[in-house]
Amino acid sequence: MDREELKKRIESEARAIVPITNADMVCKDCVQRYNDRLAPGNAGKCEAFPCGKPIGVMFRGEGCAEYVKE
Q: Report which of residues 15 and 26 the model is more confident about.
A: 26
Q: What average pLDDT does the segment 24-48 reach?
A: 92
CA 45 remoteness from chain centre: 9
- Residue 54 burial by CB count (10 A; 0-12/13-18/19+): exposed, middle or buried? middle
Q: Are 58 and 42 in contact (CB under 8 A)?
A: no
SS3 call for 11: helix
- Binned at pLDDT 50, 70 and 90, residue 70 comes out as very high
The pLDDT > 90 percentage for the chain reads 57
Residue 40 pLDDT > 80: no
* Interatomic CA distance for residues 61 and 54, integer angstroms: 11
Question: Model pTM?
Answer: 0.69
Residue 1 pLDDT > 90: no
